[in-house]
Amino acid sequence: MQKNYLESVKKQFEYYKMLGERTIEQLNEAELFWQYNPGSNSIAVIVNHLWGNMKSRWTDFLNSDGEKEWRHRDLEFENAIKTRGELLGKWNEGWHCLFDALNSINEDNFDSVVYIRNQGHTIVEAVNRQLAHYSYHIGQIVFLGKMVKGGKWKTLSIPKGKSGEFNKEKFSEEKRKTHFTDEFFKKKENEI
C-alpha cells in the first residue's frame, strides 16, 4: 500500500506542478505580477510563498520540524520576485526539494513521525497536508491566469462544452488500470 500511495501522490504533485507551469507559459512577464487589487496576491507572490513553504517543509523532511527557524513566512507575501527568470528559479527549486524528499521515503522510514510546528504527523498526513495546500494555491494561479488572459486563455482541462465528446472518447476505450494524470503527460510529450 505505501508504494502505491507514494507513486500516486508523486503523480498528483506532478499534475499540479504541470497545471502551474502551463499557466505560467501562457503569461508574459507583466501578467505574472498582476494583482486584482492591492490586497490580493499576484502569481509571483503565490510562487514565492509556495517556494518558501516547500523549502521549509521538505528540507530534512524526516529529521527536523517542517517549520524551519530560517523561514520568514510573512516575507513570502511581499513582492520579492522581480523577474520571470527568478520566478521560474524559485518554482523549480521548491518542486525539486519536494520530489527529493518524497524519493527519500521508503519502507524503513514510512512509519516515521514528521513534525510541523511541533505537531506530529504520519508520513501520509504530512504529505496529504502539503498536497492539499499546494493544489489550493495552484488553483489560485490558474484562476489568476484565466482572469488575466480572458478570451486568449488556453484551457488546461476539458474545454467548455466538450464534456460529451471527452466522455464518448473515454468510454470507447477498453477498461484499464492507469493513473488519470498519465494522459496529460503523454499529451504534453506529443506537443513537444
Compute the distance between CA of residue 56 and CA of residue 97 in angstroms, rounded to an integer: 9
HSE-CB for 86 with a 13 A CA cutoff = 12
Compute the distance between CA of residue 105 and CA of residue 127 in angstroms, rounded to an integer: 11
pTM as predicted: 0.91
Could you tell me the sign of the dihedral formed by the alpha carbons of 72, 78, 84, 88, in that order?
positive
pLDDT of residue 78: 94
How many other β-carbons are positioned within 10 Å of the β-carbon of residue 126? 24
Q: Are 31 and 148 in contact (CB under 8 A)?
A: yes
Q: Are 155 and 130 in contact (CB under 8 A)?
A: no
Beta bridge partners of 121: 114
Compute the distance between CA of residue 100 and CA of residue 78 in angstroms, rounded to an integer: 27
Q: Are 154 and 24 in contact (CB under 8 A)?
A: no
Compute the distance between CA of residue 192 and CA of residue 124 in angstroms, rounded to an integer: 35
The CATH label, of 1.25.40.10, 3.40.50.1820, 1.20.120.450, 3.10.450.200, for the domain at 2-154 is: 1.20.120.450
Nearest CA to 181 out of 17, 36, 39 is that of 17
Q: Where are the alpha helices (DSSP H) in the chain?
A: 2-26, 29-32, 43-58, 84-104, 123-149, 163-171, 182-191
pLDDT tens sequence for the chain (192 residues): 688 999 999 999 999 999 999 999 999 999 999 999 999 999 999 999 999 999 999 999 999 999 999 999 999 999 999 999 999 999 999 999 999 999 999 999 999 999 999 999 999 999 999 999 999 999 999 999 999 999 999 999 888 888 998 888 888 888 888 888 877 666 655 564
pLDDT of residue 42: 98
Beta-carbon contacts of residue 162 (< 8 Å; ≥ 6 apart):
none
pLDDT of residue 190: 59
Domain ranges of the chain: 2-154
pLDDT of residue 185: 66
Cell of 93: 527549486
